[in-house]
Structure 1
Amino acid sequence: MRLNKFMLATLLLASAGAQAVTVKMQDLTSGAEVGLVTLTDNHYGVVFTPALSGLPAGLHGFHVHANGSCDSSVKDGQKVLGGAAGGHYDPQQTGRHGAPWQDNAHRGDLPPLYVDNAGSADQPVLSPRLTLKELSGKALMIHAGGDNHADHPAPLGGGGARMVCGVIP
């Protein structure tokens, strides 16, 4: 039996006694489940290990959002998929989008999610300023575009619409 990267990481984390939670991720347009992201606490921060498929290839904005909901909302008379998740998790109210390691930026700003040409994402990313405990009840969001980790030339890293979401237990 071949072990994929996700299964191997899960086995290693379980054997190390690391605390972890799994987030079911759902396409906001179709409602279909696209896979899981496992969040694991360690002394370097939180590791986000995706096991996702059926996504557009390329880099995508990847963020923790403030509210634990993936429901749609209405803004300026327009439906916003995943809008009930609110903005990026920003407990220090910096009001700035930035890199995961910047102290003066949203704490929910994660490294971008890489999706290969087959539509799969399995490369873990690390967020050094987060703990698993603080993430319970927040939303995990994947955006339709990349993320330059700045508010210029476009706000919130220039990423696109909210595409995939899951609530962190």
Structure 2
Amino acid sequence: MQRNGLMGLGAGLLLAVSGLAQAETTVEMHSVSKDGVGDSVGTVMAEDTEHGLLLTPDLAGLDAGIHGFHMHANASCEPSDSDGETTPAGAAGGHFDPESTETHQGPYSDEGHLGDLPALMVDDEGNATTPVLAPRLSEEDLAGHAFIVHEGGDNYSDEPKLGGGGSRVACGVIESGESA
């Protein structure tokens, strides 16, 4: 019996060690406004799986409900000005769209922005902790971009504009080599 117990312990240690060997990227997320980048609201951890990129948020201080979530083209969370209007985290640019599809189709369509991610669910206490899966992305796609959380939901279409999501409320720059 002891032998079986030791074998089980060995298998458990092997699983634990292999779990540590998996690469993961942790992105610090900050509140954003027209005035710039604010305090941290938590992190989003990204790790490759056989089914795509698993994104695990650990965010607090957001409004309850569904929030649009996207990977944007540029690695910046600074505001930008255009035609006299300031956009929070506007320097992040638009949704990451390397194929120039110019359409917002959500994370499960091959016909839209690659940066379209599954919406985040924020509980009544303002926390987002439910993991989401981005099946078309991998960790190698992340560096040099930014994650953005939008006010309001996302219907994964172009109508209303970009799925109906509202202002940018949180942003995190993804730099190469970030890890937990």
Instruction: Report the TM-score, using the length of structure 1 for normalisation.
Output: 0.89
Distance 2:97 2:112 in 1: 8
Summarize deviations over 1:23-53 as a string: whole Å, max 9, x none.
0000003701000100101221111100111
Distance 1:15 1:130 in 2: 20
Percent of aligned pairs sharing the same letter: 48
Q: Which runs of 5+ in 2 are unaligned?
A: 1-15, 176-180
The letter of the residue matching 2:21 is G
Distance 2:133 2:124 in 1: 22
Matches within 5 A, 1:2-151: 15=19, 17-29=21-33, 31-151=38-158
Q: How many residues align?
A: 158
CA 1:40–1:70: 2 relative to 1, 3 Å: same
Q: Which runs of 5+ in 1 are unaligned?
A: 1-11
Aligned to 1:156: 162
Summarize deviations over 1:70-92 as a string: whole Å, max 9, x none.
00000111111100000000000
Distance 2:39 2:169 in 1: 11
Instruction: Report the TM-score, using the length of structure 2 for normalisation.
Output: 0.84
The letter of the residue matching 2:169 is M
Moved over 3 A (4+): none
Bigger CA radius of gyration: 2
CA 1:118–1:76: 2 relative to 1, 3 Å: same
